[in-house]
Amino acid sequence: MLMSKFITLLKCEESRMLKYGITYASLGTSLIWIIMIQLINVNPLDAYFPLFIYLDATMMSFLLIGAGMMFEKQENALKSLMVTPISKHYYLISKIVATVISSVITLAILLIYGVIFRDLSINYFGIFGGVILVSFVFACCGILFTYKSQDFTNLLMWVFIGTFVLAIPTLLQALHIITANWFEWVQFINPTRAALVILMASVESPDTLEFSFSLAYLIGFAGILYYFVSKKFDVFSAKEYGGE
């Protein structure tokens, strides 16, 4: 019975993503990644593949879940939800899972392209598991910052800040453009760095200590984030219900 309710909520969430154009935006992003891979023409692709899926699983997950909630806010959909007996956890988890599914679909599209046209060799279990964990973490981040955003423009500002403060420095470090020792230590508290370590493990043998730390960090961070996502939802929903 509980699973049936969750599946129904998940189907509704997928329908809303289609309605708001979020699904099409995600598919369009997949096409952009493929074009970029083709234009850059790196060989072999294996070592660079996680870099392309990294941005999608992190900042795109952040943006897509926030965009969906902003559209719902404009349509006052949350007010309708509050008069139903649906648990807030079902509501939140369905949104997070729908976002994770979107990232997994993007990954599947890129994998099909990579395997058929670029002879991609990768640990499938590792990359799928990594994307699921990373997307979950950043979907939770997206919800938290949506709580703080007054409108979609404000949300985009947070995405912009997150990209330039967290995601891009991690890419620069991965490409050995930034090599300072102090920067490497600072990066240990950056969740996007931990995300990239997990994703890169699907194409190379990782340092055991670094991989274990990154995995534990993301799992623990996911739990902490969801705790605050759930705790602050009551304030967010009450504010929306009151029309403030």
Average pLDDT of the segment spanning 190-207: 93
pTM: 0.91
Structural domain boundaries of the chain?
22-35+45-238
In SS3 terms, the chain reads as CHHHHHHHHHHHHHHHHHHCCHHHHHHHHHHHHHHHHHHHCCCCCCCCHHHHHHHHHHHHHHHHHHHHHHHHHHCCHHHHHHCCCCCHHHHHHHHHHHHHHHHHHHHHHHHHHHHHHHCCCCCHHHHHHHHHHHHHHHHHHHHHHHHHCCCHHHHHHHHHHHHHHHHHHHHHHHCCCCCCHHHHHHHHHCHHHHHHHHHHCCCCCCCHHHHHHHHHHHHHHHHHHHHHHHHHHHHHHHHHHHCC
pLDDT one-digit tens code per residue, 30-83: 898 888 888 877 777 888 899 889 989 999 999 999 888 888 877 776 666 666
pLDDT one-digit tens code per residue, 141-189: 999 999 988 888 899 999 999 999 999 999 999 888 988 888 988 898 9
Reply yes or no on whether the pLDDT at 226 is more than 90. yes
pLDDT value, residue 80? 65
